[in-house]
Amino acid sequence: MPGILSAIQEQIDTMNPKEKDIAGYVLAHPHHIIQMGITELAQQSGGSTATISRFCKLFHFAGFTEFKLKLAAELAQQTDTQSYQDIVAGNPLERIVSAMESNHVRSITDTTRMLDLKQLQKAIDALKSARQIDLYGVATSGLIAQDFYQKLIRIGKRAVTFSDPHMQVTSASNLTKQDVALGISYSGETSETIAALRCAAENGATTISLTKFGTNTLTSLADISLFTSTLEEGMRRGDMASRIAQLHVIDILFVGLISDQFDDLVPRLEQSFQMVKKYR
Amino acid sequence: MPGILSAIQEQIDTMNPKEKDIAGYVLAHPHHIIQMGITELAQQSGGSTATISRFCKLFHFAGFTEFKLKLAAELAQQTDTQSYQDIVAGNPLERIVSAMESNHVRSITDTTRMLDLKQLQKAIDALKSARQIDLYGVATSGLIAQDFYQKLIRIGKRAVTFSDPHMQVTSASNLTKQDVALGISYSGETSETIAALRCAAENGATTISLTKFGTNTLTSLADISLFTSTLEEGMRRGDMASRIAQLHVIDILFVGLISDQFDDLVPRLEQSFQMVKKYR
DNA sequence: CAGTAATACGAAAATTATTTTCATCCATGA
DNA sequence: TCATGGATGAAAATAATTTTCGTATTACTG
């Protein structure tokens, strides 16, 4: 099941009644949707065009048309790509390897399909002009933050990240309008990260979220929302594929950030590499 | 070369001048079209909305919207394994995204091809029976070590990792025959990691290396050698794809390690998953 | 070299689709 | 019971697309 449909599936419990009706219809007849207009879908699903339009925005689409477009793209992809493989007990090693491979690859390709270039560009622009960049995340997402931190430092950007939640908030409270804060959390509901990003927002910093696709608290606090694909409901994953997808997005941000200065910066990257060699 | 685009290509000679302009634009920027409205496309391609609408009907689409939808579906299908794409200055964001996608996917699939199941199984067995696991790595590889560390801790394995090289060696010098040390370094020539793994080996610990494919110092110190794929020489990467490949191998190790206790352990790993349920 | 016919083309009207506004309804809790 | 707030759809507003229609241009004919 592709990303959008599983995202709908996952959020269906949190929806309003009519939204549930619509979600149900979409899940039942995904291929149908893409040939319909919003009016027809309203009749079929028992909702109104207004509710459908709102429904699409739940998933951060610009509107119904974009929803349809992305859905069409995903459904087209589904036929020729493997679906996620669940990892179960007692697998022979060979099956584990193949399951990990397909899950990780899926995670990257699904996330790519889901990317909103405009949001991405906004995020890159914000990072580019930031005086100071704060990165928030705990546990696995904390490592993603550190990864980005290492990259930013290497190109001479002022950035910080903390594993201590108190330090995160302390740092956030010192941000200004010229600064950027990036909150990373797969679920989008990690309380420490939410607290830090909220604090950053209140101080006027530009806030960016990186979470799984859909509506969540972290996203609602962010000026700019970035998403990774949602894994299927019930998929046992242990943060593995999601982390790969997050790194994928981080890499895109980073390369986007340096691309127009690429020729200047790459030597510096090499240089900082040499520096380490020289001084160790 | 999806069907629609090649159909356009094929018919381009028989088209009217303005239609040719439009065709040219579509062929040059197919991915762009999907995000445009008919008005914007008219401006960009130097035609009018009327001509575009007629253009779409040339190919028997109901209209522009259907054309866009079908095009989106076709473009999504391009699943082929591309070769690594170098990332160069001034790329439009779209190309960066696609380059990162193909590099990361390649990195995973190539690494999978390269895996030696016997070595992998030996590594898993060693980790499984280890009293204590030491993980060594600096900079980007240090984060991979920390990632593995977090996973091991969550399943109750005794493991440590240090960013400080002195601590690494100190820890290594306390290992015994019952212990396992894993050294991570893309090049296999990072002196801190080499020093730590050498120390571990001298104390009788089972040593595992994770490096790029080939011969290198770290591998020569290891009882068990694991490899990631080598990126093309001269590829500018900033440690991006290699890190994904390393995580891929780590994940396989980890799942292999816990697979016979999978059902007990996985719920414990799914922190974020539980969180969502709890908050709603 | 007219004159005519056919076609390409875009401006703008017409149509259609989508989003937003706003009034109403309904559930919830004081 | 009465606010209150949120969900909802009717209808207005807006946006997007298609069609119509008149002009311009080319091609063809006598």
At B159-213, the pLDDT tens digits run 999 989 999 999 999 999 999 999 999 989 999 999 999 999 999 999 999 998 7
Rounded to an integer, the average pLDDT of A32-51 is 87
| Chain A residue whose CA is closest to B192 | A280
Question: Which helix (H) or strand (E) covers residue A207, if one does?
Answer: strand A206-212
Q: How far is the CA of B26 from the C1' of D24 (A)?
A: 27
Q: At residue A159, does pLDDT exceed 90?
A: yes
Rounded to an integer, the average pLDDT of B84-96 is 69
Q: Where are the domains of chain A?
A: 3-78, 117-275
Rounded to an integer, the average pLDDT of A245-271 is 79
CA distance B22 to chain A (A): 21
| Chain A residue whose CA is closest to B86 | A255
Q: List the one residue out of A2, A20, A120 whose CA is nearest residue A67.
A: A2
Among B residues 170-189, those touching chain A with beta carbons less than 8 Å apart: none
Rounded to an integer, the average pLDDT of A140-149 is 96
Instruction: Please answer yes or no on whether B236 and A266 come within 8 Å at the CB atom.
Output: yes
Residue that wins the pLDDT comparison between B279 and B121 = B121
Sheet holding A206-212, edge to edge: A159-161, A133-136, A180-184, A206-212, A224-228
Tens digits of per-residue pLDDT, A54-87?
Answer: 998 888 888 899 999 988 888 876 644 455 666 6
Q: At residue A2, does pLDDT exceed 70?
A: no
Tens digits of per-residue pLDDT, B19-75?
Answer: 888 999 998 888 888 888 899 899 888 888 999 999 888 877 888 998 998 888 878
Distance CA A209, CA A196 (A): 12
Name the architecture of domain B98-268. 3-Layer(aba) Sandwich (3.40)
Tens digits of per-residue pLDDT, A196-214?
Answer: 999 999 999 999 999 988 8
Q: Which of B123-137, B194-208, B257-271 has the lowest mean pLDDT?
A: B257-271
Among B residues 251-270, those touching chain A with beta carbons less than 8 Å apart: 251-252, 254-256, 259-263, 266, 269-270
Name the pLDDT band for B276 (thresholds 50, 70, 90).
Answer: very low
Average pLDDT, chain B: 83
Give the model's pLDDT for residue B275. Answer: 43
Residue type, A27: L
Q: List the one residue out of A187, A182, A154 whose CA is nearest residue A168.
A: A182
Distance CA A79, CA A83 (A): 9
Q: At residue A272, does pLDDT exceed 70?
A: no
Rounded to an integer, the average pLDDT of B263-279 is 49
Q: At residue A19, does pLDDT exceed 60?
A: yes
* Cβ of B90 less than 7 A from strand C: no
Q: Does CATH place domain A117-275 in 3.40.50.10490?
A: yes
Query: Which residues in range 247-276 of chain B are in contact with strand D, contact meaning CB within 7 A of any of its atoms?
Result: none
* Strand boundaries in A109-177, DSSP class E: 133-136, 159-161
CATH topology of domain B3-76: Arc Repressor Mutant, subunit A (1.10.10)
Instruction: Please answer yes or no on whether A238 and B101 come within 8 Å at the CB atom.
Output: no
Q: Which residues contact A169 (CB under 8 A, 6 or more apart)?
A: A195, A196, A199
CATH no. for A3-78? 1.10.10.10
CA distances (Å), origin B124, targets A135, A206, B224, B249: 34, 45, 10, 11
Q: At residue B81, does pLDDT exceed 60?
A: no
Q: At residue B108, does pLDDT exceed 70?
A: yes
